[in-house]
Amino acid sequence: MAININNLSSGSQVKQSVDLQSQVKEKAAQTTASAEQAKFASKDSVSITPQAKQFTELQKKAQAAPAVDAKKVAQLKKAIESGEYKVNPEKLAASIAKFEFDLV
């Protein structure tokens, strides 16, 4: 029985060579993917929609406006003091009930 000792390690060398080549290809693919991601990252941008701009303007106006209408408060105080301000109990009860039902 004869054994060929010349090619004993050639199988493992071929396997190691194939493994090394696949590792090199994977590394190259990762490098290429990283380079492409860098290209796309530089193209990112942000834009504000017209609705967002309008919303910002409305917020600024609301913050600038007074929280209480002093003129209306003065008119109501004067009407209450003079007895001209009358409360409609049915309307008040209906408004309270509507408010409560709208909360649910």
| 18 found inside a domain | yes
The answer to whether residue 92 is domain-embedded is: yes
Cα–Cα–Cα angle for 59, 63, 67, rounded to 5 degrees: 130
Q: 79: Cβ–Cβ under 8 A, 6 or more apart, which residues? A: 85
Answer whether residue 104 is part of any domain. Answer: yes
Structural domain includes residue 22: yes
Please check whether residue 38 lies inside any domain of the structure.
yes
What is the gyration radius of the CA atoms in the chain, in angstroms? Answer: 40
User: What pTM, to 2 d.p., does this model score?
Assistant: 0.33
Domain count, the chain: 2
Q: Is residue 90 part of a domain?
A: yes
**Residue 18 pLDDT class (50, 70, 90 cuts):** low
Residue 78 lies inside a defined structural domain of this protein: yes
Domain housing 27 = 10-42
Q: Which of 9-18, 59-68, 77-86, 91-100 has the lowest mean pLDDT?
A: 9-18
What stretches of 1-104 show up as alpha helix (H) in DSSP?
10-41, 50-64, 70-82, 89-103
Q: What is the mean pLDDT of residues 36-56?
A: 81
